[in-house]
Structure 1
Amino acid sequence: MRITGKHVNYYHICRRKLWLFHSGISFQQTHENVADGTLLHETAYPQRAKRYREIQIEGIKIDFYDPHDRVVHEIKRSNKMEQASIAQLQYYLLVLERHGVENPTGLLEYPKIRRTETVVLTEADRAAIAQWEAAIEQLVEQPTCPPTINKPFCKNCSYYDFCYVSEAGVELDLPPLSRDHL
Structure 2
Amino acid sequence: MPEITPTLLNYHFLCDRKVWLHAHGIRMEHTSEVVADGKFVHENSYPQRAQRYEELQLGPAKIDYYDAKNKVVHEIKRSNKAEEAHRWQVKYYLWLLEQAGIAGATGLLEYPALRRTETITLEADDRARLQLLLQEIDTLITLPQPPERVQKRICKGCSYYDFCWSE
TM-score, length basis structure 1: 0.90
Per-residue Cα deviation, 1:31-61 (whole angstroms, up to 9, x for no partner): 1111111111110000100100001111101
In structure 2, distance between residues paired with 1:47 and 1:60: 22
* 1:22-61 to 2 correspondences below 5 Å: 22-61=23-62
Per-residue Cα deviation, 1:70-102 (whole angstroms, up to 9, x for no partner): 000000010000000001100000000000111
Q: Aligned partner of 1:25: which letter?
A: I
Give SS of 1:62's match.
strand
**Can you give the 5+ residue segments of structure 1 that lack an aligned partner in the other structure?**
167-182
In structure 2, distance between residues paired with 1:108 and 1:15: 23
Give identity over the alignment, percent.
Answer: 49
In structure 2, distance between residues paired with 1:30 and 1:143: 26
Return the offset for 1:165: 0.8
Partner in structure 1 of residue 124 of structure 2: 123
In structure 2, distance between residues paired with 1:91 and 1:134: 13
Give SS of 1:13's match.
coil
In structure 2, distance between residues paired with 1:21 and 1:83: 20
Give SS of 2:13's match.
helix
Partner in structure 2 of residue 62 of structure 1: 63
In structure 2, distance between residues paired with 1:149 and 1:96: 34
Q: Which moved more, 1:144-153 or 1:71-80?
A: 144-153
In structure 2, distance between residues paired with 1:39 and 1:4: 22
In structure 2, distance between residues paired with 1:148 and 1:106: 33
Structure with the greater alpha carbon radius of gyration:
1
Instruction: Give the count of matched residue pairs.
Output: 166
Partner in structure 2 of residue 88 of structure 1: 89
Q: Aligned partner of 2:67: which letter?
A: D
Partner in structure 1 of residue 163 of structure 2: 162
- Structure 1 vs Structure 2 CA RMSD: 0.7
In structure 2, distance between residues paired with 1:109 and 1:24: 29
In structure 2, distance between residues paired with 1:50 and 1:122: 30
Structure 1: 4+ residue segments shifted above 3 A: none
Per-residue Cα deviation, 1:112-160 (whole angstroms, up to 9, x for no partner): 1100011000010000000011111110000111111211111000000
In structure 2, distance between residues paired with 1:45 and 1:55: 18
**Can you give the 5+ residue segments of structure 2 that lack an aligned partner in the other structure?**
none
Q: Aligned partner of 1:159: which letter?
A: Y
TM-score, length basis structure 2: 0.98
